[in-house]
Amino acid sequence: MAKPDPLPRISRRASLQWMLGATAALATPEASLHAAPPPTAKGYGPDPSMVTLYKPGDVWPLTLSEPQRRTTRALCDLILPADETSPAASALGVPDFIDEWISSPYPAQAADRPLLLEGLAWLDEDAVRRCGKPFADLTAGQQEAIANDLATLPPAPEHKRAAAFFKRFRDLTAGGYYTTPEGSRTLGYVGNLPLASFEGPPPEALRHVGLI
């Protein structure tokens, strides 16, 4: 029996190019058979506990089914895969962040709910049409080919709605990733660290503002 070809690695450079490339697609108001009912939870309320560590699902029910979560994990890791210095998006809980985001009752998040649910369904349908398997079961190269179609400017007419989904999903993946402690370190952010001592502003800064 022939051995399967090894999965191609997607460079962090390629994934960042996807994130930084602008997509000109606009969501159309068409109805979708894949959209779940809107959330009915009330959210955190006017006086949330600021010391409680909330986990996804603690405040409002989550939305994604297990097949949808598999697709979400696969796409998150395609956008931000692991490399020599950074973990993959799924390792930092980004799929949980996206699930909680679209399950939130707040207007901004609720507006993303139908777009993301439709897009996840489209990914699996397109993957089955092209390769006979759901998106999460494709090779990295096959997944990348689908994503490249959605990142092309301008998108093909048949990809316009899916391209809008990909752009929003990509933004949420980056936002979820780079606001974690591990993700922020990949950007070189070193704030909020305790100092053994603080000597005050340097003389150059004090002279600049006329204090010395």
Q: Give me Rg for the CA atoms of the chain.
A: 21
Q: 36-93 pLDDT, tens per residue?
A: 667 777 777 767 777 888 888 888 899 999 999 999 999 999 999 999 989 999 999 9
| Helical H segments across the chain, by residue range | 12-20, 66-79, 94-103, 107-131, 140-151, 160-178, 181-186, 203-208
What's residue 36's pLDDT?
64
In this prediction, residue 185 carries a pLDDT of: 86
pTM of the model: 0.73
What are the structural domain ranges in the chain? 16-188
Q: What is the pLDDT of residue 126?
A: 96
- Point out the residues of the chain with pLDDT beneath 70: 1-37, 46
Q: What is the pLDDT of residue 35?
A: 55
pLDDT of residue 73: 98
Token digits of residue 76: 């998150």
Report helix angle 66-79 to 12-20, nearest 10.
Answer: 100
